[in-house]
A and B are shown apart, each in its own frame.
Chain A
Amino acid sequence: MPRSLPRPRVGLLYNPTTPRVLAYANGLVEHLSVMPDRLWFDFGSEAPPGRRFHRVHDAIARVAEDLVGRSFAGHGLGLSLPSAIPLDEEMVAAGAAISRDLGGFAWHAEHLNLFIAPRGSVPNAQAGLGLPVIYDDEAFDLMAAKLRVVADAFACRILLENGSFFTPVPDLDYTEPEFLNRLLHAGLSGTLLDLHNLLVSARNGGMDPVAYLDALDLDGVEEVHLAGGDDHEGFYMDSHSTVTPDVVWELAYEYLPHCGNLKAITFEYQESYFDDLGLPTLAAELERIHALAEACGRPAEVARAG
């Protein structure tokens, strides 16, 4: 389906170095993706009721300043929705409160990754390790119940982001795009399509990105993430350490003009690589995303020909 205007906005995943990017290239950033988990200290389940989440007031004030004049959405790290454990409703409430206090997320995204099991967890760093999910009816029912609660709490659309994996899971009932489509068609969530995660998973033995994107209902894609990674001992990592690689740009130009409900294209970089990347490189990357967004704002046939 050809897109209609307006074109998607160009965004950044907010981190502590973002204010420096905004000072350098303010007009290039139209959208910010905010991680509530980075705006509080979570003292954990052993804290007494009502005392678990301690806000980082200075950081929240700074984010609020930077959101002025921009669209913004939430990006959660800690809920681990696919886990076969009860929903962390205290964290949902804390995230929803951050959303309300910032003026209301346009949408809120969570990861389609496993971070927590009943007796253990994998550390959920910003560019960290999420484990693969079993895509079957049991997982669907589990996710559906949790998504309804999260959507009610945040009072906005919920998106799920495809993860990056080192180890594909064999013999699944649904592929990941089929699972995302099923959630979409049930009215439970839209898709945050991380194109770099597709590359990471494919380089590490997962599904071919073209087959993945051909199977995905592109009308469900409401936000896209772009990022770069690096090789480590023969494996490709989603380290958010570099600019978007060429193969991801090719996928973006091929498929994003067909995403009829795409609202934002967001670049992710890890703040520990800020000095390596440098402001001119980050600004050039944002300009490049603007060109992509313009291409998405035209009918798909025109964009492809261009």
Chain B
Amino acid sequence: MLAEFQQALVDLTASPELCNLVRCGADDEVLPARYELTPRELRRLLAIVRHPGMAAACTVYRMNRLAPMALNVRGTIRALGPALGPLVNDYWRDYPRGHSHFYIESDRFCRWLRQRIAAGEPVAPEVPAILEREAAAVHAALEASCSDGLPYLEITAPAAS
């Protein structure tokens, strides 16, 4: 099915782990277990995953998904240091679909990170204060982007998937 093929392609691009699983793991079993694919679609996907360019596609995916946060919560990203990689992986698992409105995406990440820290996620001691400062600026920008004058939260409330 075309929709399943496309979903698999997007999921693979978003997940180097899934690519590795397909490449080295149970080989031809991983994708059919998750997606309804014709034999031809499976062959195409296996060829794509095994192509050296897949690593570049995964890298560009991550660069682009990080772009809203790099623009809007740069201090938080820097302060997270080596913790950033595992954290954004978890965030992207919770929100597999990036939001094209960069302030919504950044606001969503700030809320998610705040919850993680409150639940005991170990981060550098300066992170919470930087996060609160930048989250406030993002929220203000998000409110300002509502050009019909209504508060953002009256337009739509972000909800975890």
Interface residues of A (CB under 8 A from B): 37, 41-44, 46-48, 51, 54-57, 78, 83-85, 114, 116-125, 128-129, 131-132, 134, 138-139, 142, 165-171, 204-205, 232-235, 237
Within 8 A of A (CB), among B1-39: 1-3, 5-7, 9-11, 13-14
Interface of A is mostly: loop
Task: Point out the residues of chain A lying under 8 angstroms from B14, CB to CB.
Answer: 120, 122
* 17 pairs, A vs B, C-beta closer than 8 Å: A37-B100, A44-B104, A47-B156, A54-B145, A54-B148, A55-B147, A121-B98, A122-B13, A122-B14, A123-B98, A131-B10, A139-B2, A166-B53, A166-B56, A167-B53, A171-B44, A237-B60
Task: Choose among B51, B145, B147 the residue that contacts A205 (Cβ–Cβ < 8 A).
Answer: B51
Task: Point out the residues of chain A lying under 8 angstroms from B116, CB to CB.
Answer: none
A48 CA to B152 CA, complexed, in Å? 12
Minimum CB–CB distance for A59 against chain B, Å:
11
Task: Point out the residues of chain B lying under 8 angstroms from A237, CB to CB.
Answer: 56, 60
- B89 CB–A CB distance under 8 Å: no
A171 CA to B57 CA, complexed, in Å? 20
A54 CA to B146 CA, complexed, in Å? 6
Q: A48-B155, A205-B53 are in contact. Are A41 and B10 (CB under 8 A)?
A: no
Interface residues of B (CB under 8 A from A): 1-3, 5-7, 9-11, 13-14, 40, 43-44, 47-48, 51-57, 59-61, 64-65, 67, 96-101, 103-104, 145-148, 150, 155-156, 159
Beta-carbon contact of A119 and B7 below 8 Å:
yes
Beta-carbon contact of A165 and B103 below 8 Å:
no
Beta-carbon contact of A84 and B2 below 8 Å:
yes
Q: Which 9 A-B pairs have the closest CB atoms?
A: A166-B53, A123-B64, A84-B3, A235-B56, A117-B10, A54-B147, A117-B7, A41-B145, A84-B2
Task: Point out the residues of chain B lying under 8 angstroms from A167, CB to CB.
Answer: 48, 51, 53-54, 57
Q: A131-B10, A169-B44 are in contact. Are A122 and B51 (CB under 8 A)?
A: no
Beta-carbon contact of A43 and B101 below 8 Å:
yes
**Nearest residue in B to A115 (C-beta to C-beta)?**
B10
Beta-carbon contact of B53 and A134 below 8 Å:
no
**Nearest residue in B to A129 (C-beta to C-beta)?**
B60
Minimum CB–CB distance for B150 against chain A, Å:
8
Beta-carbon contact of B56 and A232 below 8 Å:
yes
Beta-carbon contact of B53 and A165 below 8 Å:
yes
Beta-carbon contact of A122 and B10 below 8 Å:
yes
Task: Choose among B10, B67, B103 the residue that contacts A120 (Cβ–Cβ < 8 A).
Answer: B10
